[in-house]
Amino acid sequence: MLYDAVLRNLQTLSEATQQLPTEKKALCLTIPWRQISGFRNILVHNYLGDIDPLTITAVVDR
């Protein structure tokens, strides 16, 4: 259940980044906005089949 909660929170976070204005994103150029946004698509649509828990752990740790 914790794993599912983490996935849901990552999805919510990545969806929220899509709503940020470009001007706000420009203030933090070190954040990989496009990758975060793309990660949402992987989470929601599960393009790669089962999502690897080790990948999720690496994302959370990063």
* Model confidence pLDDT, tens digit, residues 32-49: 999 998 888 888 887 656
Residue 27 has pLDDT above 90, yes or no: yes
CB of 13 closer than 8 Å to CB of 42: no
Range of the structural domain that residue 20 is part of: 2-61
pLDDT, position 41: 83
Domains of the chain: total: 1
pLDDT, position 3: 82
CB of 47 closer than 8 Å to CB of 41: yes
pLDDT, position 48: 58
pTM exceeding the 0.85 threshold for the entire prediction? no
As a whole number of angstroms, the distance between CA 46 and CA 41 comes to 7
Average pLDDT on 6-35 reads 93
Q: Can you tell me which residue has the tokens 């999805």?
A: 11
